[in-house]
Structure 1
């Protein structure tokens, strides 16, 4: 099982590691992972592994069996041997854009208070799908409300609850298509705002900025109809 360093500190950009396995597909598993694996609509991290006498570009990161994080090498890259001690270097610019986008999407689900049917985070464009029969009456008003929340520089924090507590509070889950991972006994909740002035609270395993002010201004892009009861809202960083 990989220790998830990204979960303890989303701002960590460099860390030691030791190779504990190679996968049958040619991936690398470390004892602790700086890299976030693809999941929950957030792409896996990229970066580089460096060890004495070699290096490997990490093309992406994916989930392996159990709690493993598998680092996928760039095509033709040399893999470090099992047991090798190395240094992990994160593609920080990419991670930060994903963090800004991810937190912005949580806020978008606040200003459009409808069930979320899907979503995808990208460095250049992200989107949420909503169970929305009628088109947005005023897209500019939604964009203004979203930027107003961002400008409040709200804090982002986390807490953990049990699977049973989540089952007793189904309203915490906004996403209809992706359910939070259960079975490990605990579920991570991400809060925007304080307990006394809470803007949003929902299960999420992804990485986020520490304050909404770090997102910067955003722009609502296309709003596309994707079925009778579904509309896709695109989001761009300005």
Structure 2
């Protein structure tokens, strides 16, 4: 099992860890990982590991068995041995863009309150697929509503409920194709806004910004037809 440091603090950029295992494919497992593993439409983090006399670029991060997080080197080269103390350094600019786009997609599901059939995030753009037979008539109005929510600078926070509580409240789940991260006995909920100002609450295992204003302005790209009932809405950061 790897302790997910990104869950404790999504803004942590550097941390020490100990190598606990190496995979047959050349991946590295640490006792605690700064790197977010691919999941929920969000890409795995990249960055680097360093230790006495060694430096290893990390191309991506994936999930392994038994809650292990596997760091995937960018190219074959000598790996730190099991037991080695290493320093993890995150590609922060890339991660932060993932955080901004991921949070913006939560807001997109607020301004388009329809079931979500898919989604994906990159450092350049994000998209959600909706169960939406007809495309929105006014794309600019959609962008304006989204930017209005961003400019309200609402706090983004998390809480936890049990698997059973989530099963008893299926309305919390907006995604039809991606199941909430269940199985450990509890599920993480991400809230945007607080109290009477709360505008969104849904299960999510990804990383997000602390306040919506940190997203910055966005623009809506193409709205594509993806089947009889599906429309794909693309969004981009303005910077």
TM-score relative to the length of structure 2: 0.99
Task: Return structure 1 stretches of 4+ with deviation > 4 angstroms.
Answer: none
Q: In 1, Cα distance between the equivalents of 2:165 and 2:68? A: 26
**What are the residue-to-residue correspondences of 1:71-220 with 2, within 5 Å?**
71-220=71-220
Unaligned 5+ runs, structure 1: none
**What are the residue-to-residue correspondences of 1:38-53 with 2, within 5 Å?**
38-53=38-53
* CA positional deviation for 1:183: 1.4
* CA positional deviation for 1:196: 2.7
Asked if structure 2 preserves the Cα contact closer than 8 Å seen for 1:55 and 1:78, the reply is: no
- Counterpart of 1:64 in structure 2 is 64
Helix, strand or coil: the match of 2:67? coil
Helix, strand or coil: the match of 1:36? coil
* CA positional deviation for 1:77: 3.0
* CA positional deviation for 1:80: 0.8
Unaligned 5+ runs, structure 2: none
* CA positional deviation for 1:224: 0.3
* CA positional deviation for 1:32: 0.2
* CA positional deviation for 1:125: 1.3
Q: In 2, Cα distance between the equivalents of 1:118 and 1:66? A: 26
Asked if structure 2 preserves the Cα contact closer than 8 Å seen for 1:57 and 1:77, the reply is: no
* CA positional deviation for 1:112: 0.4
* CA positional deviation for 1:197: 1.5
What's the CA shift string for 1:177-222, capped at 9, x where partnerless?
A: 0010211100000000003321100000000000000000000000
Across the aligned residues of Structure 1 and Structure 2, the Cα RMSD in angstroms comes to 0.6
- Counterpart of 1:2 in structure 2 is 2
What's the CA shift string for 1:20-51, capped at 9, x where partnerless?
A: 00012110000000000000000000000000
TM-score relative to the length of structure 1: 0.99
Aligned residues, how many?
A: 238
Q: In 2, Cα distance between the equivalents of 1:181 and 1:35? A: 17
* CA positional deviation for 1:76: 2.4
Q: In 1, Cα distance between the equivalents of 2:106 and 2:50? A: 35
